[in-house]
């Protein structure tokens, strides 16, 4: 009977470790995709320059077209993250010749184990004109 109880305990331990390993891999992959999306957004928004100011030699960002680009990228990117019920909130910051895109994704819990929860992830990226 002792062997049965120990075997059952080890089985439960290994199943829990396998579930944690699998869920952690999913969470890491989600973080990587969110970082790639943040880099794409920052790079794309940095290209949304005010062409009249740029013709005069001044780097000035066109916030309207950058906002439209961010909306498009976050709508398309929410489905590619691989999380259930994913919603992405974004902010853009302009600082001279740099553009910082910060993304916060909120989604259903990624982990199956009851004592672990992860319902949001945040990543940011900066693109600079030099």
Sheet holding 87-95, edge to edge: 87-95, 98-106, 120-128
pLDDT at 128 > cutoff 90: no
* pLDDT number for residue 17: 92
Give the total number of structural domains in the chain: 1
Helix crossing, 63-80 with 2-46: angle to 10°?
A: 160
* pLDDT number for residue 62: 83
User: What's the CA gap between 73 and 65, in Å, rounded?
Assistant: 12
pTM for this model (two decimals) = 0.80
User: What's the CA gap between 107 and 29, in Å, rounded?
Assistant: 14
Q: Are 31 and 123 in contact (CB under 8 A)?
A: yes
Looking at residues 98-122, what average pLDDT do you find? Answer: 86
Q: Are 124 and 93 in contact (CB under 8 A)?
A: no
* pLDDT number for residue 111: 86
Q: What is the mean pLDDT of the chain?
A: 86
Q: Which tokens belong to 130?
A: 């030099």
Per the structure, the complete domain to which residue 48 belongs is given by 2-128
Alpha-carbon Rg for the chain in angstroms: 21
Looking at residues 6-15, what average pLDDT do you find? Answer: 94
* pLDDT number for residue 14: 94
pLDDT digits (tens, 9 = 90+) for 58-77: 877 888 888 898 888 888 88
* pLDDT number for residue 11: 95
pLDDT at 113 > cutoff 80: yes
């Amino acid at each position: 009977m002792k062997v049965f109880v120990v075997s059952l305990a080890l089985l439960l331990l290994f199943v829990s470790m396998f579930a944690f390993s699998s869920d952690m891999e999913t969470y890491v992959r989600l973080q990587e995709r969110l970082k790639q999306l943040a880099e794409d957004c920052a790079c794309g928004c940095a290209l949304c320059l005010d062409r009249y100011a740029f013709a005069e030699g001044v780097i000035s960002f066109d916030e309207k077209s950058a906002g439209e680009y961010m909306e498009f990228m976050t709508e398309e990117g929410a489905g590619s993250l691989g999380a259930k019920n994913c919603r992405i909130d974004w902010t853009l910051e302009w600082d001279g010749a740099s553009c910082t895109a910060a993304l916060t994704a909120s989604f259903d819990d990624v982990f199956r184990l009851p004592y672990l929860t992860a319902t949001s992830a945040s990543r940011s990226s900066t693109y600079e004109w030099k």
